[in-house]
Amino acid sequence: MTLHCRTAFISDVHLGTRGCQADLLLEFIKTLDCETLYLVGDIVDGWKLKSGWRWPQAHSDVVQKVLRMARKGVKVIYVPGNHDDRVRDFCGIHFGGVEVVRETIHVAADGKRYLVTHGDEFDGIVTHARWLAYLGDYAYRALIALNTRWNALRRRLGLGYWSLSAYLKLKVKNAVQFIDDYETALTEEARRRGVDGVICGHIHHAEIRQIGGLIYINDGDWVESCTAVVEDHNGVFSIVEWAKAREAWIDRQSPSRSKPLPGGPVLEPASA
């Protein structure tokens, strides 16, 4: 099965942590047939380097698959985030065909221009109170551990993936206000830059919407929601919720039928 698109955006994978959904991400990128792949930060979690890094084979498989895509001609652009901020020291350098940049402008198929940035610089906690960011990261990991156990129970009951952590986060008033403030700050930066919109990650909340006449796009994460953003060949962006869409990928009982993914893109049978 193949997901045909012009561009794909993924971020907040957090390779090296227990909460990383590397198996699901590997499934997703194996379906991709794209011209450009953006890695929009927090791909590898450098914050865990000193305390309990976890690196199973699936994490290596994700890295190898991305490098293989680059060797086969896919343009891979890596925009580091705050958890992999050490990679920012290598901006302007290519690694195995992967270009590392601090930020960039993506020109969509319809000519619209988008600022592509991880987004942590617009998070006041990360910027001005790094110790609080580390504390919040610890609490967040505890919530993700609970989320993992919750979904293990759901699988035993024959139920699909559902993010308890994302649900709880959006039920907290301060978290909702933080997301709204973050989205507004990013779109205002896009306005200041004179572009049509912004594509980012960081807050683990996938979203595509207009704010003040500009387009705000967040590609989500691969810890809670397992989401990505894809652009088709007409310049239309869609969110792919892979935890839900994967059923179309693994259903091979009707290989002659194209299957729409939630959000719009079409998942087509691979040619023989």
pTM, two decimal places? 0.78
10 Å Cβ neighbour count for 31?
22
Structure confidence by residue, pLDDT tens digits, 26-59: 999 999 999 999 999 999 988 777 667 789 999 9
If one counts the domains in the chain, the total is 1
Q: Which residues contact 195 (CB under 8 A, 6 or more apart)?
A: 105, 113, 114, 115
Task: Residue 117: name the closest of 45, 191, 43, 199 by CA.
Answer: 199
Task: Look over the chain and give the mean of its residue pLDDT values, rounded to a whole number.
Answer: 82
Give the pLDDT confidence score for residue 267 in this predicted structure. Answer: 56
Per-residue tokens: 7? 């561009």
Structure confidence by residue, pLDDT tens digits, 85-106: 899 999 999 888 999 999 999 9
Would the pLDDT of 131 be above 60? no
Helix (H) or strand (E) holding 135: helix 130-156
Would the pLDDT of 139 be above 70? no
Per-residue tokens: 132? 């609080």
Measure CA 83 to chain center. 14
Give the pLDDT confidence score for residue 40 in this predicted structure. Answer: 98
| Cβ atoms 260, 230 nearer than 8 A | no
Give the pLDDT confidence score for residue 129 in this predicted structure. Answer: 37
Q: What residues make up the domain containing 131?
A: 2-268
Per-residue tokens: 16? 């090296």
> 208: which strand partners?
217
Query: Which one-letter amino acid corresponds to residue 60?
Result: S
Sole residue written with tokens 């869409």:
245
Structure confidence by residue, pLDDT tens digits, 153-162: 767 777 766 6
Would the pLDDT of 133 be above 50? no
Pairwise pLDDT comparison (196 vs 153), residue with the higher score: 196
Task: Residue 78: name the closest of 111, 136, 38 by CA.
Answer: 38
Structure confidence by residue, pLDDT tens digits, 7-30: 999 999 999 998 899 999 999 999
Q: How confident is the model at residue 122 (pLDDT cuts 50, 70, 90)?
A: confident
Give the pLDDT confidence score for residue 146 in this predicted structure. Answer: 64
Q: How far apart (Å, rounded) are the C-alpha atoms in residues 266 and 257?
A: 10
Q: How far apart (Å, rounded) are the C-alpha atoms in residues 218 and 215?
A: 10
Task: Residue 6: name the closest of 106, 111, 109, 110 by CA.
Answer: 109
Q: Which residues contact 253 (CB under 8 A, 6 or more apart)?
A: none
CATH number for 189: 3.60.21.10
